Amino acid sequence: MAKIPSSAARDAVRDTVPKMIEVTEQVLFGDIWERPELSKRDRSLIVCAVLTATYRPEQLKGHLQRALDNGLTKTEISEMITHVAFYAGWPAAMSAANLARDVFAANP
């Protein structure tokens, strides 16, 4: 299993919920994200769509960056947000759009 780099978000709560962070790094990122049945790109698209639909902006911002890093384009992310708006609601999609704008601005 590859060593999973820490993140600022996980490090901020590592002392508060150490087991949760351990499971996140070992199971979620160490196993689930590494399964070959879906590409990391596809997994990012799915996660961003779910986080948009369930209005999880705190988690979405980091996953939008991960999505770009995993090969999704800004256009594809924009299209996902537009598509999700019709299934999950306009307010959730508009919140995601504002987060995406900030992430896109940081990734010219």
The domain ranges of the chain are: 1-37, 39-108
d(CA 56, CA 7) in angstroms, rounded, equals 18
The runs of H, that is alpha helices, within 31-73 are 40-53, 57-69
Q: Above 90 in pLDDT, residue 4?
A: no
pTM of the model: 0.89
Candidates 46, 52, 63; CA nearest to 96 is 52
CB 58 within 8 A of CB 10: no
Q: Confidence band (pLDDT; 50, 70, 90) for 9?
A: confident
Q: Which CATH number fits domain 39-108: 3.30.930.10, 1.10.3720.10, 1.10.10.10, 1.20.1290.10?
A: 1.20.1290.10
pLDDT at 60: 96
pLDDT per residue as tens digits for the range 28-63: 999 999 999 999 999 999 999 999 999 999 999 999
